[in-house]
Amino acid sequence: MAHPVPGLCPVCGEKLAVSKLTCHHCETTLEGDFESCRFCGLTSEQKHFVEVFLKSRGNIKEVERELGISYPTVRGRLDNVLEAMGYRVDKEEQVEAARQRREILEQLAAGEISADDAVKLLKTLG
């Protein structure tokens, strides 16, 4: 029985390097310094999140429902996965979007806009 390939070192938590590959059919073995895929360095929790996200075809509402988490938590986990895969996540954009959402909700609370207008504005923010 094959075990899943660990992507991170169990001692220090750094990404593991692939140095040996073996063919189970013909028993050929290759040794060297091989690059592992970006997904290999994800934790099991991150891999599960990616599976749910892909199965949901990126539909955040569906991810929220299946995992029982909120929209901000889905976005946070997605950002965490992207960072773990080596992609840059623009935190400034997130801060600005949060500020805009807060402003819309304050306008709604002050009676400056209707609930329908607030919903429309919030939908434009994603």
Give the Cα separation of 97 and 123 in Å (integer): 11
Strands (E), the chain: 18-22, 29-34
Exposed, middle or buried: residue 18 (CB in 10 Å: 0-12, 13-18, 19+)? middle
Name the amino acid, one letter, at 30: L
Residue 93 has pLDDT above 80, yes or no: no
Mean pLDDT of the chain: 88
The pair of structure tokens assigned to 76 is 């946070």
Give the Cα separation of 32 and 95 in Å (integer): 44
pTM for the model: 0.58
CA nearest to 77, candidates 42, 29, 105, 119: 42
Lowest mean pLDDT: which of 15-19, 76-80, 82-86, 112-116? 15-19
Lowest mean pLDDT: which of 40-44, 93-97, 112-116? 93-97
DSSP, collapsed to helix, strand or coil, labels residue 64 as helix
Exposed, middle or buried: residue 24 (CB in 10 Å: 0-12, 13-18, 19+)? exposed
Residue 53 has pLDDT above 80, yes or no: yes
Sorted by sequence, the CB contacts under 8 Å of residue 78 that are 6+ apart come out as 49, 53
Q: In 42-90, which ranges are continuous DSSP H helix?
A: 44-55, 60-67, 71-84
